[in-house]
Structure 1
Amino acid sequence: MEWFNVGKIVNTHGIWGEIRVISSTDFPDERFEVGSELALHKADGSKPITVKVASHRKHKNFNLLTFEGYSLLKDVDGFRNAILKVSEKYLTDLEENEFYFHEIIGCTVESTDGDVIGEVTEILQTGANDVWTVKPKQGKTHYIPYIEDVVKSIDIKNKKITIEVLDGLLS
């Protein structure tokens, strides 16, 4: 079974076992819904812990969570820098032209002329549209906006993305 990142625990919050999470999912309300099961991967590399969300609320730029059975600060203090992951069995089908990050990361990006530009290594969320970090085998990193004028086709099965290289895009 495969697991996918949905957030990182950056700190505790208060004294009642609440943790601060920086979300890395477009679906925080779904992923952090009360009753959701997540795998907590500690920074020390120890065996993941399965946790069940007991509460979820937003506070500033964070998602604040508590887990069933972890009601005090001392229970969650060792969770700092842990990564929260969701099982593939909880992934839902997306609308047309919507993709999960793990489907895009690792894809080869080519121009409409067939020139290989590089591989998507990261997705930056800017608010207006996502921007894909594309690293070529040699040279500097490119930042490709995920907009209709640029991205012409996405073939998840073959891990290939075709883009229209607009003036100044790769400079």
Structure 2
Amino acid sequence: MIHPYLECGQIVNTHGIRGEVKIVPWADSADFLCQFSTLYIDGKPVKVLNARVHKNSVIAQLEGVSDVNTAMLLKNKVVHIRREDANLPEGTFFLADIIGLDVVDENGVKLGTLKDILSPSRQQVYVVEGERQILIPAVPEFILETNVDGGYIKVRLIEGM
């Protein structure tokens, strides 16, 4: 099921005394989060007055948050965006959309279902649950095709996977 709202980060702290918040983005780039004029916290829209990247995080001034005490109330809150507000380049997708897809080998044989995506370093690893668990590095050598509309990910396995 395609969800209308997507988790995109978490407010981890305040920044300064004027009510700015520090958001750790759950995206490839902090710049991605800076493009949105409205974020959603606890299901409610919050206007973004200003946002900038700072050390792989986003420092944002949100409407109605003008002091550190108010900002502190938002600490640990998950931030969402509306899917329709995000303009993804052709051929890209939200990670949330591929969790649950069937994973098939080069011959179309189902290996299992994508259950999780690990990010132990800068490289993502797909966790596939089937007859056994398979960990697949999310690189072009192994991920041949991701077809969200078709409901599958085609992979190439090597011996030992």
TM range (shorter): 0.7 to 0.9
Taking the aligned partners of 1:122 and 1:16, their CA distance within structure 2 comes to: 38
Indicate yes or no: 2:151 matched with 1:149.
no
- Asked if structure 1 preserves the Cα contact closer than 8 Å seen for 2:50 and 2:60, the reply is yes
2:101 corresponds to which of 103, 107, 123 = 107
Using the size of structure 1 for normalisation, the TM-score is 0.78
By how many angstroms is 1:26 displaced? 3.0
Using the size of structure 2 for normalisation, the TM-score is 0.83
Residue 161 of structure 1 corresponds to 153
Name the amino acid aligned to 2:61: T
- Asked if structure 2 preserves the Cα contact closer than 8 Å seen for 1:5 and 1:25, the reply is no
1:17-65 deviation digits (Å, cap 9, x = unpaired): 12121111235324323x6101012xxxxxx221111222233342221
SS at structure 2 position matched to 1:79: coil
Percent identity, aligned pairs only, is: 26
Map 1:116-127 → 2, pairs under 5 A: 116-125=110-119, 126-127=121-122
Indicate yes or no: 2:68 matched with 1:73.
yes
Residue 29 of structure 1 corresponds to 31
Residue 49 of structure 2 corresponds to 54
Q: How many residues align?
A: 158
Name the amino acid aligned to 1:16: R
Q: Which runs of 5+ in 1 are unaligned?
A: 42-47
By how many angstroms is 1:69 displaced? 2.1
1:114-147 deviation digits (Å, cap 9, x = unpaired): 44322223334543x433232x14544x321222
